Amino acid sequence: MDDSIDRAAVALAFSTHRFEESLPHLARDVRWTIVGYLVLEGADAVIRTCSETRESLADTETSLLRCVVAGQGDVVAVDTVARYSGPNGVTAVAGCDIVEFTGTRISAITSYAVQVDPECAGAPPR
């Protein structure tokens, strides 16, 4: 295992939409599976989707209600609950990103997300 990067910090940056810190670590052939939604193949597709995400959140305040990072070797899991307040109201999402590294590069990401009640993280949305 190559320890020249902090894999947990890179995975956390990705999960909390600090893409400028995480995207430089993408492998060219990275695969991002957003479970139940779509699969992105290649760094260009991941970068494009992250850019669209950043744009969609431009007028939104994000608050982390929960954040747990667990990693062993080349795999890091980031469990979050985030509250989003913006022009379209308030929502919350519970999510987990499993980020797999090959050396210093992100080779795969698997993301799970579900909308939850923003006032009671973990409960179904109202």
- pLDDT for res 20: 96
CA distances from 124 to 68, 115, 116 (A): 20, 7, 5
Q: Determine the average pLDDT of the residues in 61-88.
A: 94
Residue 36 carries which DSSP code?
Answer: T
Confirm whether 60 is domain-assigned. yes
| 2 burial via Cβ count (<10 Å: 0-12, 13-18, 19+) | exposed
CATH assignment at residue 42: 3.10.450.50
- The per-residue pLDDT for range 16-41, each reduced to its tens digit, is 999 999 999 999 999 999 999 999 99
Residues in the chain: 126
Mean pLDDT, rounded, of the chain? 93
Write out the residue range of the structural domain in which residue 69 sits: 7-116
Confirm whether 33 is domain-assigned. yes
Q: How is residue 42 written in tokens?
A: 């290649």
Confirm whether 123 is domain-assigned. no
